[in-house]
Amino acid sequence: MKSKAIPHLLMTLAFCSAGCAQTLDKAKLDQFLDRLVEKNKGMGSLTLARDGEVVYSHAFGFGQIQGDVKKPLTAETRYRIASITKTYTAVMVFQLIEAGQLKLTDTLDKFFPQIPDAQKITIEHILTHRGGIHDLEPDGSWGRQPRTHEEVIARISQGQPEFEPGTAHKYSNVAYVLLGYIVEKVSGQPYQAALRERITAKLGLKDTYLGTGNTDPGRNEALSYRYFGGWREATELDFSVPGGAGSIVSTPGDMARFIQALFDRKLVSEESLRKMTSMQDREGMGLESFSFAGKTLYGHTGGSNSSGAWLAYLPEERLALAYTTNAKIYPVVNIVSGILDIYWNRPFQIPTFEAFEVKPEVLDRYVGHYVIPGTPANVAITRTGSTLYFQPAGQSAVPIEATAEDKFKIDPAVLFEFDVEKKELTITRAGQKRVFTKKE
């Protein structure tokens, strides 16, 4: 007699082979993340959750450093999640659409007629970064001071359109700043109150809220740091400026619960989620797509000076990854890729982060003062032992790390290249090159 249990067993095994993760190598994950802080390449916290249950959580590094006193990061430490805020803002926009209070076809002039081309820019354009609104330009300390909505809108209104609405795609922070203000206008509530009523209270997220002022260690918020021969606190935008585009504070645990609830349709409808995950130029409406190991995940990334986060969800495995950092040094995409390789038991070699060795006599060829003729730009290159130091005029010297005999770097994105024959030093930062000439 054929057993009725066999087909059921085969179906169970087939399901597990497709969706059940192998044993998670937690020790390897610990080693990878701890290596980052050990080698001064990063600090932060990670949560992995499967089917709504946390399967891994680890914090590494420090949330506050004052001399020799260091406050360790924990699972409860709160971080700036920067542009991941956009996903929360988009969720509230779709909730208002579902309630009949807003439409994707509504134009911006209904709310902010002073914005150039407002009569042509729809809510859909704004959600998909296709409105052509000129983004705020970095300008000294403007974004580091408390600003009113009116001041921010006035500054946005000064910019000229970058393209005809709907004809191109360009990632826009101001688009979601405006969406945050629209949520307030339509709901009749401040953003924080809307966030609490529509998302955090529904899901019991007690560590997720709109930041105020600046990062506050007294609220268990992690200060941001850069590493220049030692950890140095990094300046950040005042929370009043990025608003609905980048001012939420949260923990990886809360973030994982949020994205699981989103994909479980506890926050928006099936139709709204379909629109959020419909990608064009790898951009949906408040969500982005990522590809790792041939698998497509949905979520968002966030970066604010030296802090940031990554939130991703893989629907077929019901896997949520939430990573936060207050020291964005080693590329976060490499960290996330390594985490997923370890999770999926794929081959992954934990980086040693050992510097390329350059002989002292070679380093000495680079030592000297460099200038850009006709400008006040003036930097010094010195050597101590086997390390070169870079010192802009009027600032402290910081070590630079060799990647080749004539190439050096300061993580995450400052590159140095020496040309002894031409007596030149090329410094590349954020894709911009500056060529210095060595003084005789």
Question: Taking 80 as the threshold, does the pLDDT of residue 140 lie above it?
Answer: no
Q: Would you say residue 207 has pLDDT above 70?
A: yes
pLDDT mean across residues, the chain: 92
Q: Is-contact 225 63, C-beta < 8 A?
A: no
Residue 129 forms part of a structural domain:
yes
Note the pLDDT of residue 136: 83
Write 352-360 long-range contacts (CB < 8 A, 24+).
353/35, 353/39, 353/41, 355/401, 355/402, 356/401, 356/402, 356/403, 356/404, 356/405, 357/386, 357/402, 358/386, 358/402, 358/405, 360/385, 360/386
Taking the C-alpha atoms of residue 267 and residue 301, their distance in angstroms, rounded to an integer, is 20
Q: Do 261 and 203 belong together in one domain? A: yes
Residue of 388, 379, 384, 376 whose CA lies nearest to 429? 379
Inter-residue contact 238 to 147 (CB < 8 Å): yes
Residue 98, domain member (yes or no): yes
Does residue 352 sit within a domain? Answer: no
Residue 139's pLDDT band (cuts 50, 70, 90): low
pLDDT tens-digit series, residues 350-383:
999 988 999 999 999 999 999 999 999 999 999 9
Kind and range of the H or E run holding 11: helix 5-19
Give me the helices (H) in 210-301, please: 252-263, 270-276
Strands 319-328, 407-410: parallel, antiparallel or unpaired by DSSP? unpaired
- In whole angstroms, give the CA distance from residue 345 to residue 26: 11
Instruction: Check which CATH number belongs to the domain holding 384 and give it.
Output: 2.40.128
101 in the same domain as 245: yes
List, in order, residues 6 or more apart from 166 with CB less than 8 Å away: 122, 125, 130
In a domain, 332, yes or no: yes
Whether 333 and 374 share a structural domain:
no
Residue 177 and residue 225 share a domain: yes
| Residue 194, pLDDT score | 98
Residues 395 and 326 in one domain: no
Q: When comparing pLDDT for 245 and 142, which is higher?
A: 245
Radius of gyration of the chain (CA): 24
Does the residue 49 lie in any domain?
A: no
Residue 26 buriedness (CB in 10 A; 0-12 / 13-18 / 19+): middle
Q: What percent of the chain has pLDDT over 70?
A: 94
At residue 16, the pLDDT reads 44
Same domain, 258 and 371: no
At 270, is the secondary structure helix, strand, or coil? helix
Task: Judge whether residue 405 has pLDDT over 70.
Answer: yes
Beta bridge partner(s), residue 250: 79
310 plus 402 within the same structural domain: no
Structure tokens belonging to residue 304: 């604010």
**For residue 395, what pLDDT is reported?**
85
Whether the CB-CB separation of 121 and 133 falls below 8 Å is answered with yes
Q: Identify whether residues 322 and 391 lie together within a single domain.
A: no
Q: Which of 310, 343, 376 is the last residue of a domain?
A: 343
Distance separating the N- and C-terminal Cα atoms of the chain: 95
**Which has the closest alpha carbon to 81: 289, 307, 314?**
307
Q: Is residue 43 part of a domain?
A: no
In a domain, 153, yes or no: yes
| Overall average pLDDT of the 228-232 stretch | 87
pLDDT bracket for residue 9 (50, 70, 90): very low
Identify the band that residue 68 occupies on the pLDDT scale cut at 50, 70 and 90.
confident
Note whether 90 and 189 are same-domain residues. Answer: yes
Q: How far apart are CA 65 and CA 225, in angstroms?
A: 9
Residues 96 and 226 both lie in one domain: yes
Domain hosting 399: range is 360-438
Residues 274-287: pLDDT tens digits? 999 999 988 999 99
pTM attached to this predicted model: 0.88
Concatenated DSSP letters of 298-342: EEEEEEETTEEEEEEEEGGGTEEEEEEEEEE-S-HHHHHHHHHHH
**Domain count of the chain?**
2
Q: 268 vs 94, 262, 274, CA distance in Å?
A: 7, 7, 10
Q: Using DSSP, state whether 204 is helix, strand or coil.
A: coil
- Out of 13-17, 45-49, 290-294, pick the least confident: 13-17
pLDDT at 2 over 50: no
What does each C-alpha distance from 176 to 156, 190, 193, 245 come to in angstroms?
A: 12, 15, 17, 5
| Same domain assignment for residues 368 and 434 | yes
Residues 6+ apart with CB under 8 A from 157: 112, 114, 115, 116
pLDDT at residue 47 tops 50: yes
Distance of alpha carbon 96 from alpha carbon 122, whole angstroms: 15
In a domain, 331, yes or no: yes
The closest alpha carbon to 298, from 277, 273, 269, belongs to 277
Identify the band that residue 22 occupies on the pLDDT scale cut at 50, 70 and 90. Answer: low
Q: Where among 313, 343, 373 does a domain terminate?
A: 343
Q: What is the pLDDT of residue 91?
A: 98
Residue 109, burial from CB neighbour count under 10 angstroms (0-12, 13-18, 19+): middle
Q: Which SS3 state, helix, strand or coil, does residue 168 take?
A: coil
Q: Which token pair is 309?
A: 């986060």
User: Predicted confidence band at 142 (pLDDT cuts at 50, 70, 90)?
Assistant: confident
Q: How confident is the model at residue 11 (pLDDT cuts 50, 70, 90)?
A: very low
Q: Cβ neighbours of residue 206 under 8 Å, at least 6 residues apart?
A: 200, 254
Q: CATH number, domain at 180?
A: 3.40.710.10
Structural domain ending residue among the three candidates 343, 374, 403: 343
298 in the same domain as 364: no
